[in-house]
Amino acid sequence: MHRSLIVLPDDSGQPIVDAIDAAKESLRIKMFLFSDPGLLAAVIAARQRGLQVRVMLNPARRSGEVENQASRKALEDAGVEVADSNPAFDITHEKSLVVDGATAFVHSLNWETKNLTETRDYAVVTSHRHEVDEVVECFDADWNRQTFDPGENSHLIWCNINGRNRVARFIDAAEESLLLQNERYQDEVIIERLVRATRRGVKLHVLARPMHFLKAGKLVEGVEGLRILEDLGAKVHRLKGLKLHAKMMLADGKRAIIGSINLAPGSFDSRRELAIEVHDEAVVTRLQQVADHDWANSRQLDLSDEGLLADLEENEPDVAEMLALGTQNSHPEHHRRHDDHAQNGHKGHHNNH
């Protein structure tokens, strides 16, 4: 029994392709987005070797945008069984693969070429029996439109079942440091747990995406959460070079959570999401190295009024009003603290769209 780590884009999609190529009996794939040609070819080849291959795809985004149609057709034409993910959930955001019922891959990444080549992402590979069995059990339940309940002593972290509780408990157990890589910091319960962590002296390093990546309706919570954490002494940075798509938390350099869960109410309450907690030394050591590298290649996310206005100028003036930016009575200390950033200028900031 072992757990190992795949780091994207460093390791490329090859380890996943290799696992599919080595499969002898069956593949269970549950994916939010699936379009990478190399992975498609590997899955189709597995079907052509006579394996039982079942693929569950999220049918459409909330916007109504349908992104898996071409892949679905290619898979079905090759004789792969394809189903929409369980309609009991707004969205199935889980990204998992089970090979031969014996090895499970829990991903933060979609099977899109950009998640293999341009974004910071992770996958944990586990052969621990209980963990693999849970992924299989949930897959089969969703495939058959049945209820999945891993019970009180669930080995994995599932939304919308135990996700918020497990993530909150993970944060509560941190003693010295917490390093977070996530696209969104919007869930009030989780923000409150992070606040408490900083209050008891835990060093908090937060890697986030620039605010213009957030949908307008989510901006208030997204900005507010990060501003609160920064005001309490957390360091909030954005990645340079790579795009951040990971959903990773590392506590005390000893324990980590990796999976599909954004720290947002929708993820915890209405989506199918999956994450895994790991404490294996080899996995955590490598995660720490990658996290340190990413932190060294990041810069402070400017959350001052000026910085946010520069970042969000395409959405002005609605956003300025929603976030009460640049109003006369905003805190002078906030401006003073960020004056140096303002003077450094944000001229090129909006070119990142």
DSSP-derived secondary structure letter, 212: G
300 backbone dihedrals φ, ψ, rounded to 5°: -60, 135
The H or E element containing residue 259 is strand 255-259
DSSP β-ladder status, 177-181 and 157-159: unpaired
Q: How far is CA 139 from CA 78, 83, 143, 317, in A?
A: 21, 11, 6, 45
Q: How many residues does the chain have?
A: 353
The predicted model gives 40-57 an average pLDDT of 98
Given a contact cutoff of 8 angstroms between Cβ atoms, the answer to whether 312 and 219 are in contact is: yes
Grouping H, G, I as helix, E, B as strand and the rest as coil, residue 6 is strand
Task: Give me the chain's average pLDDT, please.
Answer: 90
Give the mean model confidence (pLDDT) for residues 104-118.
97
Identity of the amino acid at 12: S
> Cβ distance 308 to 302 under 8 Å?
yes
In the chain, pLDDT over 90 holds for what percent of residues? Answer: 76
Q: Which of 126, 120, 125 is nearest to 8 (CA)?
A: 120
pLDDT at 327: 60
Tokens of 38: 């190399």
Minimum mean pLDDT range among 90-94, 166-170, 193-197, 339-343? 339-343
* Res 67: pLDDT: 82
Of 184, 153, 176, the closest CA to residue 166 belongs to 153
How do 52-57 and 26-31 pair as beta strands? parallel
Contact 229, 257 (CB under 8 A): no
Segment 281-315, tens digit of pLDDT? 999 999 999 999 999 999 999 999 888 888 887 76
Mean of pLDDT values over 36-56? 98
Averaged pLDDT, 180-198: 96
Query: Residue 22 phi/psi, 5° resolution?
Result: -90, -5
**Which ranges in 214-260 belong to alpha helices (H)?**
219-231
pLDDT band of 351, cuts 50, 70, 90: very low
pLDDT digits 0-9 by tens, 247-282: 999 999 999 999 999 999 999 999 999 999 999 999
Q: What is the mean pLDDT of residues 159-163?
A: 95
Which of 150, 154, 188 lies closest to 168, judged by CA? 188
User: Is the model more confident about 311 or about 126?
Assistant: 126
Say what percent of the chain tops pLDDT 70: 90
Is 139 a residue whose pLDDT tops 90? yes
- Is 349's pLDDT higher than 50? no
- Tell me what pLDDT residue 246 has: 97
Q: What is the DSSP secondary-structure string of 98-147?
A: EETTTEEEEESS-BSHHHHHTEEEEEEEE--HHHHHHHHHHHHHHHTT--
pLDDT reading at 169 higher than 80:
yes
Mean pLDDT across the stretch 48-73? 87
Q: How far apart are the first and last CA of the chain?
A: 44
pLDDT of 334 reads 45
What single string gives the DSSP state of each residue in 261-324? --BSHHHHHHEEEEEEEE--HHHHHHHHHHHHHHHHTEEE---SHHHHHHHTGGGTTHHHHHTT
| Token output for 99 | 């090979």
CA distances in angstroms from 226 to 23, 94, 229, 298, listed in the order given = 43, 25, 5, 16
Transcribe 173-232 into DSSP letters.
T-SSEEEEE-S-B--HHHHHHHHHHHHTT-EEEEEE--GGGS-GGGHHHHHHHHHHHHHT
**Rg (alpha carbons) of the chain, rounded to whole number:** 21
Question: Which residue is listed with tokens 């989510």?
Answer: 218
On the question of pLDDT at 219 being above 90, the answer is: no
Average pLDDT of the residues in 318-345: 55
Stretch 42-70: mean pLDDT:
88
State the pLDDT at residue 316.
64
- Please give the single-letter amino acid code of residue 4: S
Average pLDDT over residues 161-189: 96
Determine the pLDDT at residue 342.
Answer: 39
More confident residue, 11 or 304: 11
